[in-house]
Amino acid sequence: MALNHYVTIGNSGLRVSPFCLGAMTFGEDWGWGSSVAESETIMGRFLERGGNFIDTANVYTKGHSEKIIGDVIGRDRARRDRIVIATKFFGNLYPGDPNAGGAGRKNIVASCEQSLRRLQTDYIDLYWMHCWDRFTPIEETMRALDDLVASGKVRYIGLSDTPAWKVAQAQTIARFRGWAPLVALQIEYSLLERTVEGELIPMALEMGLGVTPWSPLKSGALSGKYTRENSATAKADRGERVTTSLNERVFAIIDELQAIGKELQATPAAVALAWVQGRPGVASTIIGARRLDQLEQNLAALDITLNLEQVARLDKLSTPTLSFPMQFLNVASMFSHGGATVNGEASTLWPLAPKVDAERY
């Protein structure tokens, strides 16, 4: 697969590259990240390779991320119309003002206007709710977003970091009311974070939402930088979020990534990214890079294809423990299929089933 082999996201006609360039590292305002010049170089290379999907948020590097993107893309209308720019509302940039964050109408409208100014554009291609706001009725959020779509300031909408039941409720209300539907779901997803396969991924498939995973390398834990040999001395860019996650299970997965990487002449990071991009429901995986060489290494994942045996090896080591009732439902076919195979799913006979073809009651 190449970066310019585009896919439609969710149940929409929006074409995006299979990798999305994450811009959380654009700017050094948080004490880490890419300089303005390096950010522009990374963007330029991504676009040159055929990438057309860039993801940011109003709060990334205190708004500087959006400004950097706007300086490169927003001022060039021809280039801007070729790019899919996604940004988010929810985060509060104004301490002391409770209405400058969250998912209420007041903040959504204000945040959209501010993002448009920083991005130097008159429309946002994909507007995300960054997190679920449990203090705001989802009807209010969805209606405000529908108004933005109707006004032409937003083209498509999606939700990020929101429980599956709330996303399903929002999509159902939008369909019932005839409002702009959700087309995408942004969630953390990696070999080290697979619990989303319990509720969120099946919900996205059912509701027509394209999944855009964030942190596919678990903040660098799967980048290849960390091994059993250097675990005691390696320093993480994201601090304890990475180092505290390095346990025996993680090292077993890293070992397998290295082994498969040798088979494919690829880096562990490329193997981990290829695994994520190949998961059911995934449309475009968000990759981050603070340096140009990191971008090139990540894009190399598009050049490899994992075979079924390699995927199975990674799946086995990373199998998650899902919350109820998902684990229980894995064995439900035992007492529903009667030992038969249905839609390719074989079942064992329920031990408590009648031993003979009992007369139906």
As annotated, the active-site residues are: 60
Within 10 Å of residue 170's Cβ, how many Cβ atoms?
24
Cα(292)–Cα(43) distance, integer angstroms: 9
Cα(43)–Cα(156) distance, integer angstroms: 22
Q: What are phi and psi of 133, to 5 degrees?
A: -100, 100
Nearest alpha-carbon partner for 217 in 130, 288, 315: 288
Q: Which two tokens stand for residue 69?
A: 């993107």
Instruction: State the DSSP code for 85.
Output: E
Amino acid letter, residue 347: S
Q: Which two tokens stand for residue 27?
A: 């700017």
Cα(27)–Cα(39) distance, integer angstroms: 7
Using an 8 Å Cβ cutoff, are 156 and 145 in contact?
Answer: no
Cα(319)–Cα(192) distance, integer angstroms: 9
Which residues is 128 bridged to in the sheet? 88, 158
Q: Specify the 3-state DSSP secondary structure of 100.
A: helix
Q: Specify the 3-state DSSP secondary structure of 325.
A: coil
Cα(214)–Cα(130) distance, integer angstroms: 12
Instruction: State the DSSP code for 301.
Output: G
